[in-house]
Amino acid sequence: MTPRQNAVQLSQVSKRFGRVTAVDDVSLTIEDGEFFSLLGPSGCGKTTTLRLIAGFELPDRGDVFIGGKRQGETPPYQRPVNTVFQNYALFPHMNIAENVAFGLIMRKVPKQDILRRVSAALEMVRLPGMEHRRPDQLSGGQQQRVALARALVNEPQVLLLDEPLGALDMKLRKAMQLELKSLQERVGITFVYVTHDQEEALTMSDRIAVMSRGRVLQVDPPHEVYERPLNRFVADFIGETNFLVGVVKAAGRGKATVAVDGQLPLEVPAERLPGTGEEVTIAIRPEKISLHAEPPDQRAVAGTVDEVVYFGTNTCYLVALTDQTTVTVRCQNQQVGQHVSFPQGARVYLHWQQESVRLLRE
């Protein structure tokens, strides 16, 4: 018996729609009180995974557990979860108070409690006094809050959110991200949050499951997913990454020596040791590379500046190696007047900390 109970567990769950396998052998354990995100490109099966937990879809294979209880074919209205729908799905024929009270009325909560809990919920999402408005009289952001209140008022074991901020504009979205996160910490309810926005997932989540084509590729805290991607897809989908192809010169003691662009061999940390002579891909983030006019040590790679793009907080250099691969380098602009250190055509040396590089499994 672990002290922290699992809020949700998916065990080898698969779901097909005709020829499409929307969810493919997914196993996940989501802990109680966790802010857990499902992240992946559109069509990768995030919504289907959420619907499997909510009970709107039943798995073809595998089991869904909520609070340790196997759900089987339990209908949605008997599961201890609530959903914030992507399009909010507020009832247009009811006012805000009736919308929020709906779940409580269905569960036959006493009327005094309903009134109290509804106004507390509207207070919580900072919409007091809106009780008698109709959904179409509210802005998108306000509707979003009502949807949140309507779900949270039921105090579910797990709250499922399907791209809840997707329809909001950029500024409102950023504000709501912070608000959602602090709300989750306050109420302590497990959130399962679906998004295709990697930045959103990184800033809000305790853990992220990165999905692609119905499969879960990696489940880790944000910094792990970012700093230590397990494979090329994760490295590519989250943030910017340079992929460099090299040949292994030697391998041993958790390290591989790789020659990139036929240049001086570099040492790369490797969990799984590749064979000598094998062609491998190494990944390095643009902001982890520094540029130098002279090689700072033996481990630098030489190139030529192809293009310089000024971004305000940083300047981006596209550096061409001799084998025509282009490496993106981002340099933070820490000092005024220093935004372009290397002009187009300049000969530069790329340098990075050994630990910044990832040797990728495909």
Partner 1 sequence: MGKRPASRRAIVRLLVLIGPSLLYLLTFFLFPLLLVFAISFGERGTYGGVRWVLNLQNYVRFFDPLSLRIFGRTLYIALATTIICLVIGYPLAYFIGTRSPRWRNGLLLLLMIPFWTNFLVRTYAWLLLLRDAGVINLVWTGALHNLVSALAAAVPIPLWQPLLQATASPIRIYGTDSAIIIGLVYGWLPQMVLPCYAATERLDFSLVEAAQDLYANRFKSFTRVILPLTMPGVVAGSILVFIPSLGAYITPDLLGGAKSIMIGNVIYSQFMSARDYPFGSAVSFLLMAVMLIGTLIYFRLGTARTHVTDEGGI
Interface contacts to ligand ADP, rule CB under 6 A: 17, 20, 22, 40, 42-48
Q: How far apart are CA 114 and CA 116, in angstroms?
A: 5
Q: What angle do CA 295, 297, 303 make, to 5 degrees?
A: 35
Q: Which of 29, 74, 85, 281 binds partner 1 (CB under 8 A)?
A: 85
Q: Tell which positions 33-52 bind Mg ion, by CB under 5 A.
A: 47
* Distance from the first to the final alpha carbon of the chain: 37
Contact between 247 and 278 (Cβ < 8 Å): yes
In sequence order, the 6+-apart residues with CB closer than 8 A to the CB of 187 are 124, 152
Q: How far apart are CA 143 and CA 125, in angstroms?
A: 11
Q: How far apart are CA 101 and CA 213, in angstroms?
A: 38
Return left, alpha or beta for 280; rule: phi > 0 is left, psi -120 to 50 is alpha, else beta.
Answer: beta
**Is the CB of 77 or the CB of 186 nearer to partner 1?**
77
> What is the DSSP annotation of 267-280?
EEE-SSPPPTT-EE
Q: Which does 22 bind (CB under 5 to 8 A by kind): ligand ADP, Mg ion, partner 1, none?
A: ligand ADP
54 binds partner 1 (CB under 8 A): yes
166 binds partner 1 (CB under 8 A): no
Q: How far is the CB of 17 from partner 1 (least distance, A)?
A: 12
CA distance readout (Å), 50 to 78, 193, 201: 16, 9, 16
- Coil, helix or strand for 20? strand
**Is the CB of 109 or the CB of 346 nearer to partner 1?**
109
Q: How far is the CB of 55 from partner 1 (least distance, A)?
A: 8
Q: Which of 89, 167, 172, 316 binds partner 1 (CB under 8 A)?
A: 89
Q: How far is the CB of 92 from partner 1 (least distance, A)?
A: 7
74-82, 179-187, 284-292, 318-326 -> range binding partner 1 (CB under 8 A): 74-82
**Is the CB of 113 or the CB of 199 nearer to ligand ADP?**
199
Q: Which of 38, 101, 168, 216 binds partner 1 (CB under 8 A)?
A: 101
Contact between 180 and 151 (Cβ < 8 Å): no
- Interface positions with partner 1 (CB under 8 A): 54, 56, 75-78, 81-83, 85, 87, 89-95, 97-98, 101-103, 105-107, 111, 114-115, 118, 150-151, 154
